Structure 1
């Protein structure tokens, strides 16, 4: 099943996302965040094809919060969770740091998942009890032997816009430097791979 999911995520990236990269229609959601035609097309493609792998409902990022909550509460025995483009702002602005993200969750616990950056052709995937991989190579790719003061911290700055914490992060942080790259799924994959 993981191999089928891996192939599906790549297919959706090639048919629905990449043809729209650098040329996509944009709108705003009710919360003010950006939404593209590519997000909607990819989410629709996942909704149509994921039941062929495991016939369970899909919770997509572009659904209403009410619908997401309803799906989460009533599908403990299995639920697909999809972010059709994590890093939509990067995608819109032509920055090649975004990913398609799809996981199967049972009783609130991930069973398998795939995160794919179609620009770099890096596909991270894992299955419960089976390890995690990047394009067939087991993670981590390397073991990092750094001290905290040498580390790069992945921080989403927009959530720290006000208050003392953002100032302190820049002046008193215990780590070496900060990156805000715009795709949390890729940030987590990078951490798991030892980057």
Structure 2
């Protein structure tokens, strides 16, 4: 593991341990928009992560969900989601994570996603494979969408706009074995990387949602594109992540005009 990776892992563990201790003890709860929650724990975890990263790499840029970005004219930038799954956290639902990625010239080269409730660290460096708690991991081998377990999520404006992923959800319900909506995109994607899920799709995502997890999925043998099938960047809003074997089937479902009708 490189110095970049070690520091990112240490930062993720520190933030994750803090949020686990504070679970059920939120002091401040506010909203970004109508229903997008932010807590004092989000802010504290972000501060802990940035402090540790800056202590080792003071010239690196930062792009973080709560505090935004700084400009250092450096090729390296850390992309941080201090608490991916804030709504879950606020309701004491134990599915949330810390996500930290390092970019070099806008391309992720290190990714760490830490689940403090299960003490699971998903980790990858470019061209070095993907690991779960130091053990090499790989995507599933499922070839049929009809036998696949998928996950997705919904943007915070789901109740106010037409492009809200509901129609896509309906189509996949009729095409896949089952769909899950756990509420943390970074963990969902890491579950594809570890073979627990076969595929994931979502729209209206932000760079900090996917930067680390997408690298991890690719290094585990997964395929990542936009809904159109074009190459994906974590600065794009829509993404498909799969074990590669069901990828075309997922694209075909998203391109279909209507959901399949139920037939007995």
TM-score normalised by structure 1 residue count: 0.85
1: distance between equivalents of 2:168 and 2:97? 31
Change in CA separation of 1:164 and 1:78 when aligned onto 2, cut-off 3 Å: closer
Listed one character per residue, the Cα deviations across residues 128-175 of structure 1 (whole Å, up to 9, x for unaligned) are 1211100011111x6333411111221214576547963563367321
Structure (1/2) with the larger helix percentage: 1
Question: Does residue 57 in structure 1 map to residue 54 in structure 2?
Answer: no
Equivalence for 1:166: 166
Report the aligned-residue RMSD.
Answer: 2.4
1: distance between equivalents of 2:29 and 2:77? 28
Equivalence for 1:88: 86
Aligned length: 187
Equivalent residue for 1:117, pick from 115, 125, 144 = 115
Q: CA deviation at 1:194?
A: 1.0
Listed one character per residue, the Cα deviations across residues 63-110 of structure 1 (whole Å, up to 9, x for unaligned) are 2xxx54x74xx7560111110000000011111100001111111100
- Structure 1, gaps ≥5 residues long: none
Q: CA deviation at 1:41?
A: 0.2
Q: CA deviation at 1:10?
A: 0.6
Asked if the contact 1:51–1:57 (Cα under 8 Å) also holds between the matched residues in 2, the reply is no
1: distance between equivalents of 2:170 and 2:29? 33
